[in-house]
Structure 1
């Protein structure tokens, strides 16, 4: 198994496209690590996206907010503007797992994996 931590989306996409075998994206890892430990997935390449600029950011936009794919759920509640504008999203993030899990998991990963 190979583990890489690219610094750009272009590099991550290139590595993903060039992978000869199964690859997995690691943002929070709460679902991926459990599936790996259970033997449900065995990626040959893990691409950790946490060092890519912008993917750990919450930004207010003209249309609302942009939440980076690697923003931990616990961080959502720390953003006062997000908490005020999207209280339901922040509350949903607080319902995912324990405090320890919330410090690691991402709302994006839970949406992509359809995790309850």
Structure 2
């Protein structure tokens, strides 16, 4: 995490964060953004984890939507969240 934040902080030109990628790629193809630096956060420890807590769940920023539906505890406790995640994009997008 510190490395990613450090790279973003020292970027001279426009920078972007890559998590799933679909929104960023659409914006780049459309010419809305031309980042000189792209930081992929998928491999940062903890950002792709789902952790059950006393209050519910902590869902990391890089958890793919498809993974929410695969988690039995999340499906049982938060069926609406899983249903909403299933409505986002295609299966390929949900898996990224």
**Deviation for aligned residue 1:91:** 0.3
Larger relative CO (CA 8 A, sep 6+): 1 or 2?
Answer: 1
Higher helix share: 2
Corresponding position: 1:68 with 2:60: yes
Q: How many residues align?
A: 96
For residues 66-109 of structure 1, give each alpha carbon's deviation from its aligned partner in whole angstroms, at most 9, with x where no partner exists: 111111101100000011111111000001111111112xxxxx
Question: Structure 2: where are the runs of 5+ without partners?
Answer: none
Q: TM-score, normalised by structure 2?
A: 0.96
- Equivalent in the alignment of 2:25: 33
Distance 1:42 1:58 in 2: 32
Find runs of 4+ consecutive structure 1 residues off by over 6 angstroms.
none
Alignment pair present for 1:44 and 2:44 = no
CA RMSD after TM alignment: 0.7
Q: TM-score, normalised by structure 1?
A: 0.80
